[in-house]
Amino acid sequence: MVGLKERIKQEVLDYIDLSSEITDEELLEVIDEALVSKHRDVYISLQDKIKLRREIFNSIRRLDVLQEIIEDPAITEIMINGSKDIFIERDGAIFRYPKCFESEEKLEDVIQQIVSQCNRIVNTASPIVDARLSDGSRVNVVLPPIALNGPVVTIRRFPENPITIDRLIEYESITAEAAEFLRKLVIARYNIIISGGTGSGKTTFLNVLSNYIPEGERVITIEDSAELQIRGIANLVRMEVRNSNTEGTGQITIRDLIKTALRMRPDRIVIGEVRDEAAIDLLQAFNTGHDGSISTGHANSPADMLNRLETLVLLGADIPLMAVRRQIASAVDIIVHLGRLRDKSRRVIDIAEVLGIKDNEILLNPLYKFRETGCKEDKVIGKLEKINDLIFTEKLSRAGILSDERGQI
């Protein structure tokens, strides 16, 4: 079947070379004619015809074997380790995909097709790039000689319809009580950092929290690759970083975009992720009257997120450590930490309040913590439990959200 597919594909390509630009419909007609022609010499079942028609079309006009995977809504991650090894994640488990690219050259053609659609460049001189697909899926590409076993492509897929808080409650990722608590904090303009490891669901949770932002506010989003799906905000400005061109100029960084956003009269700034010295600009945005801003970061716990922010700030500025800690303690109000448990489920593990500085250390007030109570049929059983009350309730009071003297809301 593989040899037959290649012969029919070559016939189609030979015809296209002799013709003017053709539409997708015209290309499908050419493929159908080639299939009918081959059917006279070799028997091809109707099922195989349909399969060959789709595969040949995808190879010429779409993303080859990658197209089939992208069209499967159940697949959440695609990992391409060279042209011959493709792995997919479905329902939290990783499997080897039975198909592969016909050659490394074909994989490289698909990569160039992807990155060109979002105005990015990747080549041997600049072998690493972050891009996105038309459906918003996040793409990371690493080319040889950095990648030793051929081009490596990792695609994080997001659902067409953004996950809502109700879905997260249904999945037991968060309790209804904790979700209502966070809703009030977002409305009251608490500055929130969402932390967690790779694949823990930070971007999804950021989308969920963003849906709590009142629709009358002006929101500016800043991302490495645009993937946020904020709905219901009419006054929404979306900005994305730009890599340098082939001459090494024209780069626009997260830091540049944060500085620009401060001049655009935002009510809130939503930053997809802070992973470098842009952390200092994030803190300045949080500390300059843009309450209610939200961002994410890689960390293993709320305390580790604070330490990581310290490190990132110190990478970009020669500032005394205590000054950095005061900035962080003043800027960040709440840290929501996500985790991926051993059963592959994604859960809110911690919600903590940043209290301030005592004995030169930033204090945290744990508000909610996930308690594991057992395991049933390989599924982790547990619940996000409230363990302390919110202490700083001034923003809640200013927002007209009632709270008693103990911080219960």
Assigned domain for 136 exists: yes
Percentage of residues of the chain with pLDDT beyond 90: 42
Model confidence band, residue 2 (pLDDT cutoffs 50, 70, 90): low
| 113 and 245, same domain (yes or no) | no
3-state SS of 190-217 is CCEEEEECCCCCHHHHHHHHHCCCCCCC
| 143 and 78, same domain (yes or no) | yes
- Tens of pLDDT along 337-362? 999 988 888 999 999 999 999 999 99
Assigned domain for 215 exists: yes
For residues 101 and 107, the answer to whether their CB atoms sit within 8 Å is yes
| 183 and 320, same domain (yes or no) | yes
CATH number of the domain bearing residue 123:
3.30.450.370
- Tens of pLDDT along 51-91? 666 766 666 666 778 888 888 888 989 999 999 999 999 87
Assigned domain for 123 exists: yes
CATH number of the domain bearing residue 219:
3.40.50.300
Can you give the residue range of the structural domain that contains 385?
165-398
Give the pLDDT confidence score for residue 406 in this predicted structure.
Answer: 46
- Tens of pLDDT along 91-119? 778 999 998 888 888 898 889 888 887 77
| 304 and 343, same domain (yes or no) | yes
**Predicted confidence (pLDDT) at residue 41 exceeds the cutoff of 70:** no
| 144 and 185, same domain (yes or no) | no
For residues 92 and 74, the answer to whether their CB atoms sit within 8 Å is no
Assigned domain for 407 exists: no
Average pLDDT, the chain: 84
Assigned domain for 31 exists: yes
Give the pLDDT confidence score for residue 247 in this predicted structure.
Answer: 67
| 354 and 223, same domain (yes or no) | yes
Number of domains in the chain: 3
Assigned domain for 405 exists: no
| 199 and 300, same domain (yes or no) | yes
